[in-house]
Amino acid sequence: MPTAPSANPAVDTAAVAALLERGRTMSTPVLRAAVDRLAPPMDTVAAYHFGWIDAHGRPADGDGGKAVRPALALLSAEAAGAAPEVGVPGAVAVELVHNFSLLHDDLMDGDEQRRHRDTVWKVHGPAQAILVGDALFALANEILLELGTVEAGRATRRLTAATRKLIDGQAQDISYEHRERVTVEECLEMEGNKTGALLACAVSIGAVLGGADDRTADTLEAYGYHLGLAFQAVDDLLGIWGDPEATGKQTWSDLRQRKKSLPVVAALAAGGPASRRLGELLAADAKADPGERPATAGDVDGFSEEEFAARAALIEEAGGREWTSQEARRQHAVAVAALDRVDMPGHVRAQLVALADFVVVRKR
Amino acid sequence: MPTAPSANPAVDTAAVAALLERGRTMSTPVLRAAVDRLAPPMDTVAAYHFGWIDAHGRPADGDGGKAVRPALALLSAEAAGAAPEVGVPGAVAVELVHNFSLLHDDLMDGDEQRRHRDTVWKVHGPAQAILVGDALFALANEILLELGTVEAGRATRRLTAATRKLIDGQAQDISYEHRERVTVEECLEMEGNKTGALLACAVSIGAVLGGADDRTADTLEAYGYHLGLAFQAVDDLLGIWGDPEATGKQTWSDLRQRKKSLPVVAALAAGGPASRRLGELLAADAKADPGERPATAGDVDGFSEEEFAARAALIEEAGGREWTSQEARRQHAVAVAALDRVDMPGHVRAQLVALADFVVVRKR
């Protein structure tokens, strides 16, 4: 399996597609039944968010996301020797927490688009985005705890720990946007919190529900955490250079938001003429709007496509793009290596490796 | 014990003060230690919300609320024959959920003042209000689940159910504000969700942590639920006729927010000239601003003190004030009657009755 940092792995596309499809097929009906428990109008708002209906309430076949987490939660159960079904409540709980955080983060960040559609706060207003986010978070705990088992309590505890890290990460993300400098280490810590922690939980939750001990769960979480960092490094690349058609986000999305993402902080840390010029530009941008970040921050005012393109080119010239690509492959290698420390069926291990490969080559 | 609907009970003020003080003394250090776990700046924002520091970060001795819930959680443990200490994690978890909901509701409702101070979204911005609310909710589950016992899992499940009802109630509250008519039954259901469910949980959570069976917990919840409805009826009276000095809210606070609170819906349902005149006025108010409710709704625009006073007078003339006072005493009686269905030490029962008495005569 090609996991060396110098090249992207070859992906078994069909195997990954089948895994993602299985995760979606097995978890979506349970997820929909959970969301149906919400009182009106929260059920409708949530159904819009998940892409099951459009803004007018008509059935839709929206893009529900990549569904990497459900696929991982089912494999997680299998890694502990349980049936994939055992991981389903875990898959649903993790998806609920993930979507709770999307609803709140989109509002806090002022993001108007997600998955090619207007975000919930844009369509249904800020109050519904807050309320439905809260409801999905509560529902996640409900789905697990109603199992009534000791394992469910342990799984909920891990999910709660991951959710706290998710919130820490969002707090860091917000505070970094108006700081002139963020170190690469700070950025990796933030991304580990925002993305690594919940992916880690997805990879341990099925195993915990299947009776795995804490050591096994912790090692599976190490795979998931580094997979999350690889995932986020790729996300950061797509956030600047991604194809809007594929990602469903605006061009230069992360630059519009002034996100101190990995390519940016790596470029600033690199030194050299392009790095210095980038630093001067970003410092000037920050001075031009030094105010407190509003709940709905929106774009950096008054910048043209050309100005964003110039910043992107400087980041690339300073080496931020290449460093981030390398970082994705480094994290991928660490993730895959963790799998050797867990005794699991060979085909489960192979599928976890295939998913890791997919994460670093995806275009959306 | 005077529980007849026709008269307010005489309250053993010293006993109630001692109970509230015990709840505060035993739970506050654990609550503060829990909040200290939050990463900056969330720890500071939460400390401001709880009144431990002022807006400039200086130590403050703010009004942390009445602390009815912590007092109930400790009595709850004693009702199950356990030491009051057993109820402390439950008291803290319930307080965390309560304050999570205050942070989010104040933002959704546009409330600018709470406990005589600017609300968190006013001082620290909407994003921090969302984020710290989320963090307190997660922390509530963390505090319980880290106990690692079967009882803690059961307690968390009950807390989650209560939180879901809390969210349902806020959803109803928001939707009612722009409806012309809300029935008394709808209003009671909403208030049962918003206030009854979490008070009910406070009264069962200590018992559950102390090993009580589900039947005992359910009966204690019945006391708490009806106590909550009595509490809310009094809150609705204070929301219109309360002394701003005592409540820390603006004059006519609930009328400014167009809250369809009990006095209003009872007055509208009463019939008669004052009821009809009130209905016409409120319908005209709604027509004047039929738009979607923003996240920060603020006041009904352009109304003078006199106009609010006229509405309050009509509510009183139509009988809404008296009906709500009677309702508080009815719910108080139902709550106290539920205590007879649980076998508990006599002094614990007497203290639960004293707290119920306090709830219906309080002025803040």
Determine whether the interchain pair B126/A126 forms a contact, defined as Cβ–Cβ distance below 8 Å: yes
Asked if the model's pLDDT at residue B298 lies above 90, the reply is no
Q: What are phi and psi of B317, to 5 degrees?
A: -60, -35
A91-100, A329-338, B129-138, B244-253, range with the lowest pLDDT: B244-253
Q: Are A335 and A223 in contact (CB under 8 A)?
A: yes
Determine whether the interchain pair A150/B152 forms a contact, defined as Cβ–Cβ distance below 8 Å: no
- Predicted pLDDT of residue A294: 41
- Predicted pLDDT of residue B302: 64
Determine whether the interchain pair A145/B134 forms a contact, defined as Cβ–Cβ distance below 8 Å: no
Nearest CB to B108 within list A40, A131, A142: A131
- Predicted pLDDT of residue A61: 82
**Percent of residues, chain A, with pLDDT higher than 90:** 76
- Predicted pLDDT of residue B289: 61
Residue B180: DSSP 8-state: S
Angle at A129 between CA A127 and CA A132, to 5 degrees: 100
- Predicted pLDDT of residue A13: 87
Asked if the model's pLDDT at residue B121 lies above 90, the reply is yes
Asked if the model's pLDDT at residue B155 lies above 50, the reply is yes
Q: Which residue of B has its CA nearest to A155?
A: B145
CA–CA gap between residue A101 and residue A197 (Å, rounded) = 13
Nearest CB to B174 within list A127, A138, A171: A127
- Predicted pLDDT of residue A346: 96
Tens-digit pLDDT profile for residues A138-154: 999 999 999 999 999 99
Nearest CB to B135 within list A126, A148, A164: A164
Asked if the model's pLDDT at residue A5 lies above 70, the reply is no
Tens-digit pLDDT profile for residues B47-91: 999 999 999 999 998 766 788 999 999 999 999 999 999 999 999
Once rounded to an integer, what is the mean pLDDT over residues B287-292?
A: 58
pLDDT band at B10 (very low <50, low <70, confident <90, very high): confident
The residues of B whose Cβ lies within 8 A of any Cβ of A are: 39, 41-42, 100, 104, 107-108, 125-127, 130-131, 133-135, 137-139, 141-142, 145-146, 148, 150, 152-153, 156-157, 160-161, 163-164, 167-168, 170-172, 174-175, 292-295
Domains within chain B, CATH numbers bracketed: 13-361 (1.10.600.10)
Nearest CB to A130 within list B108, B135, B294: B108
Specify the higher pLDDT residue, A296 or A87: A87
- Predicted pLDDT of residue B292: 41
Best mutation target among B157, B165, B193, B257 (most A Cβ atoms within 10 Å) is B157
pLDDT band at B111 (very low <50, low <70, confident <90, very high): confident
- Predicted pLDDT of residue A250: 77
Once rounded to an integer, what is the mean pLDDT over residues B104-131?
A: 94
CA–CA gap between residue A24 and residue A31 (Å, rounded) = 10
**Least Cα separation, residue B130 to chain A (angstroms):** 7
**In the structure encoding, which two tokens stand for residue A69, read together?**
């987490």
CA–CA gap between residue B207 and residue A322 (Å, rounded) = 58
Asked if the model's pLDDT at residue B112 lies above 60, the reply is yes
Residue A195: DSSP 8-state: I
Residue of A85, A72, A80 whose CA lies nearest to A30: A85
Once rounded to an integer, what is the mean pLDDT over residues A110-114?
A: 88
Chain B residues close to A214, C-beta within 8 Å: none
Asked if the model's pLDDT at residue A296 lies above 80, the reply is no
Once rounded to an integer, what is the mean pLDDT over residues B87-100?
A: 98
pLDDT band at B294 (very low <50, low <70, confident <90, very high): very low
- Predicted pLDDT of residue A295: 38
Once rounded to an integer, what is the mean pLDDT over residues A100-127?
A: 94
The chain-wide mean pLDDT, for chain B, equals 91
Specify the higher pLDDT residue, A307 or B9: A307
- Predicted pLDDT of residue B250: 77
Determine whether the interchain pair A156/B152 forms a contact, defined as Cβ–Cβ distance below 8 Å: no
Tens-digit pLDDT profile for residues B211-258: 999 999 999 999 999 999 999 999 999 999 998 888 777 788 889 878
Q: Are B143 and B135 in contact (CB under 8 A)?
A: no
Tens-digit pLDDT profile for residues A176-189: 877 878 999 999 99
Asked if the model's pLDDT at residue B291 lies above 50, the reply is no
Asked if the model's pLDDT at residue B196 lies above 70, the reply is yes
- Predicted pLDDT of residue B6: 47
Once rounded to an integer, what is the mean pLDDT over residues A252-264?
A: 88
Q: Three-state SS across A70-109?
A: HHHHHHHHHHCCCCHHHHHHHHHHHHHHHHHHHHHHHHHH
pLDDT band at A302 (very low <50, low <70, confident <90, very high): low
pLDDT band at B296 (very low <50, low <70, confident <90, very high): very low
- Predicted pLDDT of residue B75: 98
Q: Are A35 and A46 in contact (CB under 8 A)?
A: yes
Nearest CB to B131 within list A131, A148, A170: A170
pLDDT band at A298 (very low <50, low <70, confident <90, very high): very low
- Residues sharing a CB contact under 8 Å with residue A44, sequence separation 6 or more, in sequence order: A53, A57
Tens-digit pLDDT profile for residues B161-194: 999 999 999 999 999 877 878 999 999 999 999 9
The chain-wide mean pLDDT, for chain A, equals 91
- Predicted pLDDT of residue A361: 86
Residue B288 CA: distances (Å) to CA of B284, B285, B300? 6, 5, 10
Residues counted in chain B? 364
A43-57, A250-264, B147-161, B287-301, range with the lowest pLDDT: B287-301
Determine whether the interchain pair A142/B160 forms a contact, defined as Cβ–Cβ distance below 8 Å: yes
Once rounded to an integer, what is the mean pLDDT over residues A36-48?
A: 96
Assembly ipTM: 0.91
Chain A residues close to B295, C-beta within 8 Å: 125-127, 130, 295
Nearest CB to B127 within list A125, A133, A174: A174
Q: Are B294 and A126 in contact (CB under 8 A)?
A: yes
Determine whether the interchain pair B160/A138 forms a contact, defined as Cβ–Cβ distance below 8 Å: yes
**Percent of residues, chain A, with pLDDT higher than 70:** 93
Determine whether the interchain pair B138/A164 forms a contact, defined as Cβ–Cβ distance below 8 Å: yes
The residues of A whose Cβ lies within 8 A of any Cβ of B are: 39-42, 100, 104, 107-108, 125-127, 130-131, 133-135, 137-139, 141-142, 145-146, 148, 150, 152-153, 156-157, 160-161, 163-164, 167-168, 170-172, 174-175, 292-295
- Residues sharing a CB contact under 8 Å with residue A75, sequence separation 6 or more, in sequence order: A19, A84, A87, A203, A206, A348, A351, A352, A355
Sign of the C-alpha dihedral computed for residues B78, B84, B87 and B92 taken in this order? positive
Asked if the model's pLDDT at residue A291 lies above 60, the reply is no
Asked if the model's pLDDT at residue A3 lies above 50, the reply is no
CA–CA gap between residue A58 and residue B83 (Å, rounded) = 55
